Structures are given as structure tokens and as C-alpha cells.
Structure 1
Amino acid sequence: MHRISLNYTLGTEAAPALIRNPLLDLLQAVSDQGSISAAARQLGLSYRHVWGELKRWDAALGQPLILWEKGQAARLTDFGAKLLWAERQAQARLLPQIEALRADLERAFAVAFDETAHVLTFHASHDEALVALAEHARQARLHLDIRFSGSVDAIRALNEGRCEMAGFHVRIAPAQGSLTQRTYKPLLRPGRHKLIGFARRRQGLIVAPGNPLGLETLTDLADKGARFVNRALGTGTRVLLDELLAEAGIAPERIRGYAEVEPSHAAVARAIATGRADAGFGIEAGAQALGLDFVPLAEEQYFLACLKSSLAQPATQALLDLLRTGAWQHSLSALPGYTPARSGEVLAMNRELPWWRFRPRAVEHAERGPHGHGPAPGAEVGAEVGGWS
């Protein structure tokens, strides 16, 4: 039984939140390059070192990792390929937890190195733009302590006081009575919460390169029996998919693999890249990161939400200032499938999520009259601010 030990590095250079292993990086390089010498060059190592490491690991693991045949490209053995697949799949599935672990460590060091640094705690739906934002924030002495979870869970964490900012996403112009409305309306309240503009992004089908099954719609997904991988309950992506299925009149049980779930967009993309599934539902950036094809099906708005009481706090104001900068919006535009959308603006919730019907109490009283029958004499319409129903 082989055991796992973890370590981390401390430095100023930005790097993906992955737990690196030299052997797996070496196997990936050989798989990509098709030769030991090219793999060594890719990794910045000598041929002799790479050869020695492979021989050492062959002996330690008790079976070969690489097949060498004269005149043929080097390739992984079945064992080497399975080892690489298992590790990369685990990395993709554990990405939210790895990000949370890194956030814990970085928050501790942020305070240790600079007691005046702003720290803002996030719970948010997993999003590539938020990962990029965290890197920009460090340069402005703002540390974003981001815990990735589903959109629904993120807003609940905000309401329970477990974070200061929640990231969630909804379809553009969600309809009255939609699943989106039924999911989010009980969690958000005008007057208590404030919405902050962040980004627009595209969601759709992530498929193998060349889209071999010709999947263009959710109906194709059902009719062709494509192997599907889903997102978990509580995620905004699952809410969006279920809403689109309902609109298309497709019962979830018609989707082969509907019950198979992955914890992040990266894990969904990895399942397609390794051939475990034919399609998944996710963001364009996740598909492009692994060289997969993408079929756009919906555009959505990604919002940040906070309590009204925290809007004036220095850390929140520092975030708003950062979101409004041209440098950040340029970086956001460079991400596949993303465009800035009033980044850093405090938005009116009843306009962005039009599920609340605003009626001033004075108007209602004027319309009803003193006995509920017609206007009240001398009533001043609009004299008092009312509420949402």
C-alpha cells in the first residue's frame, strides 16, 4: 500500500492550485511529447536525470511505466496510463478542496506578512474568473479567502454569517415561475442583500474534440444516448441544466448518466477528456483548458452578493475598486466565454432578478381607499416607500 504525503511552497509567483508530483508530471510530459528527450526538455531536466528517475520508479513500483521500442515513440504502459489518469482525475475532483486549503494557508500568511492587508471571505460557485480575480487582488493588498461550493450553498453561507461575499450565477432574464426563481428567491431579499456586477459567461455542452456524436442540443443528448456527467444538487449549473431540460420537455431519466455527478467544471471536463463520458454541462473555459469542444446553450450573469451592512466595509470597497479597473476587465475579457458585466457596480436587485413586485404602501392604500374600495380622499400617491411581495 503506497501512502501519500503533501507539501507546499511559499513564494511570490502565481501558480495553479494543484498538488504537484514529479513522477506524474514526468509521465504527462512523456505522454504529450512521445520521447524521453523531448519530455526532459519540456520539464527543463537532463535526459540522464529523467531516465534515472523512470528506472528508479519502475523498481519502486514493481512494474514498468514506459514502453521503449527501437524506432518507435515512447509511450506509457497500461499501468503508467492508469496511474496518470487516476491522479489527474483526483486532482480535478478535489480542486475545490485544494483551493480551500490554499486559501486557508494564504490567509494566514497574508496577515503574518502585512497586518493591514484586507481579507474578504468568499463562498462561491466554482468559477475560473474568480480564480483570476484572486491573483489580481493580491497585487492590491486584498486577500480573497475563497471557498468554492454550489451557488445555493454559497448564499446560505452568507445568510448564516459564514462569509462576507457570495458568488452565484443565474440565467440572463430568468422567467417568472422558473426553477431559477424558485431556487434563489427564498434566499435573497431586497433591502437586506446587495448585488454586485461581476461577469457574463456561457454555459453549454462540453464534448470531445470534433464533437464526434454531433451533439448540438439537449434533445440530441437524450436521443443519441450520449454518456453524460452532471453537476451536483445545490450548484447553479445543475439549476440551469434542470431548467433547460424542463423547457425542452426532456425528463431527466432520458439523460444517460444524469445521476453521475462531479464537483467542479474542471472535473466534468476531465471526465470528457479521459473518455469516461461523452458530454457534460459546464463553462467554455473548462472545455478549452483541456482542448475540448464546446456547444453554447445559455448565457448567464455571475453576481457577487453581500449583506447591505457590509457594503461600506474597507475590504468590500477595495474589491469594488478592483472590479472597476481596466486592467481587471481586460483580463476577464481574455478568459474564454467571459465578458465584463458592470463589474464593481452595486445593482438594483429587483431589476436584475425581477421576481419581486414593488408597490409603495401609500399607492396600495390610495388605490384601496379607507375601506378597501377605491382611492382615499387626498391620498398622496408614492408618499411612502413600501416593500416587495
Structure 2
Amino acid sequence: MTYKFKARLSSEWALEKPSGAVLPLSEVIRLLAAVDATGHIAGACKACGVSYRHGWGLLRNAEKEFEAPLLETSRRQGTKLTAFGQHLIWANRRVDARLMPTLESMASELQEELERLYPESQPRLRLHASHGFAVEGLMQLANGLDMLPLELRYRTAIEALASLDRGECDLAGFQVPVGEFEAPILQRYNEWLDPDRHRLIHLAVRNTGMFVQAGNPKNITSVADLVKPDVRFVNRQIGSSTRSLVGLMLKQLNIDTTRVQGFDSSEFTHMAIAAHIASGMADAGIGVETAAWRCGLWFIPLAKERYFFAVHRDTLNAPQMQRLLDLMKGEQYREYVAQLVGYDASCLGSVQTLEEAFGAAFTKSLPSARREFMIKP
């Protein structure tokens, strides 16, 4: 089928006054972010494609409604945002980061429903994966080319692998840390990974670590510092592999999670964690280096993680899967992943068995009955 359209959903927030009048904020937020980036109102208006008069009027009206200044202007330093203005744009970024996985998944579902209305429509590859920058880039590239697009559902790694096991998706994304925490994380997955039925497509190796505010005002240097009484931590959602990794690191140090202020909090993406900290709502969180860099945070490396797509062995030779593999191995996508801060694309697109990927660590993570079956001559 010809790719006729792409469904999109986006978040937009507004303020409703007691009178019932509604103040839309999307354009105001875009202008504030542009002022923050350019350092002056004229450049912000040009970047947003509005006249100076219109942009200035919007910002002044917003200041009137909020009863608070949004901008500070000086001859030497140009225009910058007030603390109030900064909080507004970080609140918007945090909302976007939280909602993005849900909106993208819903848009993908809507796209699928609409395409079913066309008699010539063909099945698409279904990808279930936790949010990641390499996955995000693959979706954008695949759906922007003349190929059958990917249908995306954001899921935790276990949810994705369980979906693959039930036949509800064609690719399941999951990550595994390199080193001492590899085996215990693999134990979380082994119920859904079968060395006979499944193969792995290697996506990337990425740096995972602690995000702290620029300058590291709380002097946080390791996971052990999360128990400091003045440190507020923001965690990933229940069921996520990152949350499990944090738990393993704390357990290794004999630290009860109840001693960590904020351990029971939940954010669904790396960018949401970073935005949470950049906006001053937390002091530390854990995620991939790319998110810390994009939000101007300091990054403390903790582990390297390999990210894979698990697939059924029998689907590897399907034309749709081969087109996706060709795309992943192509120069355009390789360059995209290589420019992500903290990502290594050297093994991108390679297909491996579970034993080739994990060796003894995978065998060790299996239940004893399955392990004995595998090692029989």
C-alpha cells in the first residue's frame, strides 16, 4: 500500500480563568524556549515564524495574566528568562517527556486503524520497546521512507518480551548491563527468551548513569549518596529495567530502598527523568547519557548497557524484516546512532543467538531444568 498519511498526536496546555476564558500557552511556551535559545526577542520571533509585534504582544499579555515577569532585558546580556519563565518551559518539557510515549503509542494504534480501512493495506512490523533515543530515531527514519512503517508500542522490556512470546509483536526491545549485573537482569527475561525460537538484533551499546544538576551542588558521586537526607531521587516506573538496575546497585551496598527519598517515584522516559532534575524537582536520577547532555545536566557513568531487539527466528527472512535490517545497517541510521552522546553503534544490525550474545551469563540465568536440557550432549 502507498503510505498515504501519518497520524500524529501532540500535547497542548492552556490556562482557564474563573470567568471561563481560556489562555492558550503553546505559542507562549515556544517563544519563551526560543528566547532562551537565541538570547533576544527578535531572534525568537524569527525562529517561531511570527512578527516581532505579535510575539511581543503575546509575551506581554502572558505576563499580565500570570502577574509575573517572564523576561529580563539588559543592553549587555540581551534578553533572558526570569526564574518564572524558566519554570514554565521546564514544566512543558517535563509534560512532553511524560506524555510522548503514550501519545506515540496511541498515534501508532490510530494509524493502524485508519490503514485497515483501505482494502490494499498490508500488515506492518510491530515493535514493542522501552523508550530510547536509538529506537526513536529508527521510528522516524523508517516511517519517513517509502517502506512499510513500523507500528510502535512503548513497553517495559518484560512487557515487550511477553508480547513477543504471545505473538503480539514482531520485535521486542530490551537492554542488558555489561558486567556484574548482567546475569541478574537476564534472570528477569529468561521466562520469555528461548534459544531455539529467538534471535537477537543488536542495536547499540549506551552509557547509563546518574544525572545531577549542573555543578553537582549536592556533591553526588555514586549510588551510595542517594541516602543523603538532602538528596531527592527520581526513579523510573515499576517494571522498568533501569529501576531494577538501581535496586541491584543499592542491594549490593546493603542499602534499603526505603532510605532513598523518591525511590517510589515514577517517570517513563530518560528525558522525563532529566527534565525532572533540570527543573529543580529532584537532585538525581538514572538514565542514558544522551538525556543528561540534552538537558544540560552532569552525568556520572555507572554502567554500559547493550540494547537488543528480540525476534522470532522464523521471521528473520521475511521481506519486511530484511528491509528493516537493511535500514539499520545503512549509513544514514548508523550515522544517526553514532552522533547520539553516549551511544556506540559499532555492532549495529548484527544478528546473534542468545548464547553468542550472553554466553555463560545466559545459561547461568536459566532455571535448572532448562539449563540441564541445554547442556546435554
In the alignment, which residue of structure 2 is the partner of 1:345? 350
Q: Over residues 96-123 of structure 1, what are the superposed CA-to-partner deviations in whole Å (9 max), with x where a residue is unaligned?
A: 1122134345556788999688731111
Aligned residues: 349
User: Within 2, Cα distance between the matches of 1:328 and 1:315?
Assistant: 17
User: Within 2, Cα distance between the matches of 1:62 and 1:281?
Assistant: 34
User: Within 1, Cα distance between the matches of 2:151 and 2:355?
Assistant: 29
In the alignment, which residue of structure 2 is the partner of 1:254? 259
Q: Over residues 187-240 of structure 1, what are the superposed CA-to-partner deviations in whole Å (9 max), with x where a residue is unaligned?
A: 211112211111100100011112222322111233464211011121111122
Structure index of larger Rg: 1
- Give 1:387's aligned amino acid: M
Q: Over residues 234-262 of structure 1, what are the superposed CA-to-partner deviations in whole Å (9 max), with x where a residue is unaligned?
A: 11111222222222332222322111111
User: Within 1, Cα distance between the matches of 2:341 and 2:107?
Assistant: 25
Structure-to-structure mapping, 1:1-80, within 5 angstroms: 19=11, 21-32=26-37, 35-57=40-62, 61=65, 63=67, 66=70
User: Within 1, Cα distance between the matches of 2:49 and 2:248?
Assistant: 48
Change in CA separation of 1:203 and 1:51 when aligned onto 2, cut-off 3 Å = same
In the alignment, which residue of structure 1 is the partner of 2:22? none
Q: Is the 8 A contact 2:181 2:245 kept in 1?
A: no
User: Within 1, Cα distance between the matches of 2:181 and 2:72?
Assistant: 59
Shift of 1:22: 1.4
Corresponding position: 1:243 with 2:230:
no
Structure-to-structure mapping, 1:283-298, within 5 angstroms: 283-298=288-303
Structure-to-structure mapping, 1:42-191, within 5 angstroms: 42-57=47-62, 61=65, 63=67, 66=70, 83-105=88-110, 119-137=124-142, 138-139=144-145, 141-173=147-179, 178-191=183-196
Change in CA separation of 1:186 and 1:286 when aligned onto 2, cut-off 3 Å = same
Shift of 1:63: 4.4
Shift of 1:93: 1.2
Change in CA separation of 1:113 and 1:388 when aligned onto 2, cut-off 3 Å = farther
Secondary structure, aligned partner of 2:214: coil
User: Which stretch of structure 1 is more off in the superposition, 303-312 or 279-288?
Assistant: 303-312
- Give 1:303's aligned amino acid: F
Q: Is the 8 A contact 2:209 2:302 kept in 1?
A: yes
Change in CA separation of 1:388 and 1:107 when aligned onto 2, cut-off 3 Å = farther
User: Within 1, Cα distance between the matches of 2:123 and 2:348?
Assistant: 20
Corresponding position: 1:387 with 2:371:
no
User: Within 2, Cα distance between the matches of 1:190 and 1:162?
Assistant: 19
Corresponding position: 1:356 with 2:343:
no
Change in CA separation of 1:219 and 1:82 when aligned onto 2, cut-off 3 Å = closer
Q: Over residues 254-287 of structure 1, what are the superposed CA-to-partner deviations in whole Å (9 max), with x where a residue is unaligned?
A: 3221111111111100011001001100000111
Bigger relative CO (Cα 8 Å, ≥ 6 apart)? 2
Secondary structure, aligned partner of 1:231: coil
Q: Over residues 311-340 of structure 1, what are the superposed CA-to-partner deviations in whole Å (9 max), with x where a residue is unaligned?
A: 222211111122222332222111011011
Q: Is the 8 A contact 1:245 1:251 kept in 2?
A: yes
Q: TM-score, normalised by structure 2?
A: 0.80
Q: Please list every run of 5 or more consecutive structure 1 residues that lacks an aligned counterpart in the other structure.
A: 1-9, 359-363, 365-385
Q: TM-score, normalised by structure 1?
A: 0.78
User: Within 2, Cα distance between the matches of 1:311 and 1:70?
Assistant: 61
Shift of 1:388: 5.8
User: Within 1, Cα distance between the matches of 2:348 and 2:43?
Assistant: 43
Q: Please list every run of 5 or more consecutive structure 2 residues that lacks an aligned counterpart in the other structure.
A: 13-25, 367-371
User: Which stretch of structure 1 is more off in the superposition, 180-189 or 32-41?
Assistant: 32-41
User: Within 1, Cα distance between the matches of 2:179 and 2:189?
Assistant: 14
Secondary structure, aligned partner of 2:363: coil
In the alignment, which residue of structure 2 is the partner of 1:304? 309
User: Which stretch of structure 1 is more off in the superposition, 274-283 or 130-139?
Assistant: 130-139
